[in-house]
Amino acid sequence: MKIKILLISAFAFIFALNLNAQIFKHTSVAIGLSTSQMINNNPAAKSIQPSSSDEPIVFGGGFVGAQPGFEVRITTPFFDDDRWRIPYGIDYQFYTAKERIPIGRNIEDKRFHSMQIITPFLGVNYVLQDLEYLKAKTYVSAEVRLAMIGNIVNRLEENYFFLDQFDTTINYATKGNATRLGGVVRVGVEAMLFKPLELNASVGVSLMNAALRDDKRRELLTPFKIFETQERYLWNLNFSLLFQYTF
């Protein structure tokens, strides 16, 4: 809770700085699509239903591939040359997994596992190159991220193809909401589309749970505690494609 209050206070302070006309003049606001894909051997990226070849047996999160979301990013320079900047905003990710498991000829199980991750972030951004002739900039950014995981759903639907009256839905108890402190290092490019609109594209590597891990809760993004012993680090590949307006 103290971390959330400090982060919100930091956002409020920076927003207050933006009320100053000289700073606000060079501030950019960007909004667009973002994705997150797990890149380490974490159970969250494995199938929900354990495979007979899995060793050890694990109920995965089912989050295979890139998970979609959207991002709002504000970037404020804090030196006159506009090379050093403060990026801050919110990344809102939707994690969804669906699996079909045939059970005999006339029965099919469907597993659903989903959650939403709201991630405020705050960092430092440095412009590596200002390519005026191309109307583009390249930059590197390091950001602190607070992942707030909620709206978790863990459901099983058993469907009988010719006997609908036997169809069954089971809503399993979830592990509960969680908050983790992490960070990301990213590189990106800002390119002019047409005045005053720019395109801001970036790719980065993030660690979702660098701090505040809880081994009692077990793995962070899986549906069941069974066969789990700890919460392992969760590394992601992050990509964003934003439309940006600079004042």
* pLDDT score recorded for residue 10: 62
* pLDDT score recorded for residue 126: 95
Q: Write the single-letter amino acid at 32.
A: G
Report whether 97 contacts 63 (CB < 8 A).
yes
| Residue whose entry in the numeric block shows the structure tokens 């969804």 | 96
35 vs 75: CA distance, rounded Å: 20
* pLDDT score recorded for residue 54: 60
* pLDDT score recorded for residue 1: 57
* pLDDT score recorded for residue 243: 97
Looking up residue 176, the CATH number of its domain turns out to be 2.40.160.20
Q: How many domains does the chain have?
A: 1
- Write out the chain's pLDDT in tens, 247 residues: 556 566 566 665 665 555 554 556 689 999 999 999 999 989 999 999 886 666 677 889 999 999 999 999 999 998 777 889 999 999 999 999 999 988 878 889 999 999 999 999 999 999 999 888 888 999 999 999 999 999 999 999 999 888 888 899 999 999 999 999 999 999 999 999 988 899 999 999 999 999 999 999 999 999 999 889 999 999 999 999 999 998 8
Reference 115, options 165, 57, 44, 181; nearest CA is: 44
Torsion of CA 44, 50, 55, 56, to 10 degrees: 70
Domain around 94: 2-246
* pLDDT score recorded for residue 3: 60
Strands (E), 39-82: 67-77
89 vs 183: CA distance, rounded Å: 13
* H-assigned helices in 2-111: 2-18, 21-24
19 vs 76: CA distance, rounded Å: 11
Report whether 147 contacts 4 (CB < 8 A).
no
Report whether 219 contacts 175 (CB < 8 A).
no
CA 17 to chain centroid: 27
